[in-house]
Amino acid sequence: MAEHDHDHEHENDETEGVDDEELERAARRLVALSRIRQYGDSALRMKAREVEQFDEELARLVERMTSLMHEAQGVGLAATQVGVLRRLFVFVDDGEDRVLVNPVVTPVGDDTEVEDEGCLSLGPVRVPVERAVRVQLEAKDAAGEPVSLSLEGIDARVVQHELDHLDGVLLLDRTDAESRRDALSQLRPRLVLTS
């Protein structure tokens, strides 16, 4: 979902070649984004099926998704975004890579908050989305072992965003009508009529 702000990452790095590194990172990001399904791709609108086999193929998929997420400078990536209609996503939980398979997310309490979200499949779009502040998440890891997480704030937001992807739901479906119109004009500039 949301992209990192890396502006300050190199502020103490005075070595030569920083510009080259940043250019390389930017290039890697573009390559990664080209491997992630973008708005208009039908896979983004499909409902993913439960994972039944915790095998080598799943491990390879998780590895591929994790590196794509990092190269694209995202904090979460769902299988549907790489065209795989299985219920799993990866995300960065407090600096640690996690994979959640067959996740079930339950809001805890009634608190919600509205924040801007972006998505690796929606280019430059950022729109306000209301999410539960706290959630309980039950899932399996890549080996099929149970995982139980209590999350709040940005982490809770990320997993709600990724879970939506597994049901074919995008930010556009979660935001207000005006933000949606603006987002669509960014995504489909040629279809916007001027008055």
Which residue number, 61 or 119, has a Cβ lying nearer to Zn ion? 119
Which residue number, 119 or 142, has a Cβ lying nearer to Zn ion? 119
CB 99, min distance to Zn ion, A: 16
CB 92, min distance to Zn ion, A: 14
What is the dihedral angle through the alpha carbons of 118, 120, 125, 128, rounded to the nearest 10 degrees? -20
Structure tokens given for 111: 């608190």
Considering the rule CB under 5 A, would residue 119 count as an interface residue with Zn ion?
A: yes
Considering the rule CB under 5 A, would residue 183 count as an interface residue with Zn ion?
A: no
DSSP 192: P
Which residue number, 81 or 142, has a Cβ lying nearer to Zn ion? 81
Distance (Å, rounded) from C-alpha 66 to C-alpha 90? 6
Contact 161, 174 (CB under 8 A): no
Coil/strand/helix, residue 111: coil
Q: Which residues are catalytic, by number?
A: 162
CB 1, min distance to Zn ion, A: 5
Interface ranges with Zn ion (CB under 5 A): 1, 119
